[in-house]
Structure 1
């Protein structure tokens, strides 16, 4: 837009443009604030995972408990392996 065209804009148009710009800036700042609020986002994420777990447990409890057992066995295996490697190094 040329300088002449900008000069011909009414004060009402300018106010409207300023309001639009402020609204856009506020939306951008809100989005940035949300992205940077890691504890709140983690809380949302963990809430969603809990809901998924409860739903899966209600749908097929045997599968859920089987997966939990397998995960526990995997953790025990890793810990046992670390202990054995630690003893070998002596």
Structure 2
């Protein structure tokens, strides 16, 4: 039920992925570290994108628009609109 025993393979062959039947002892730790590095990179890219986002046309009031939550330009625009409504 397992396809038989492991096949003989040449021991002199080197592979960056570990070669045949690679199962490093610390694969869980390596996976966790790379996951954390990837998550950190994505968060940094997301923050940089939100800071540099520029809009020439702002979303309509009351309409669902996800980048309202992180785009600094839209947040400031909506604060100005709220202040103008409250002030007049």
Structure with the larger RCO, 1 or 2 (CA within 8 Å, 6+ apart): 2
Relative to the length of structure 1, the TM-score reads: 0.48
Highest CA radius of gyration, 1 or 2? 1
Q: Specify which structure has the higher proportion of helix.
A: 1
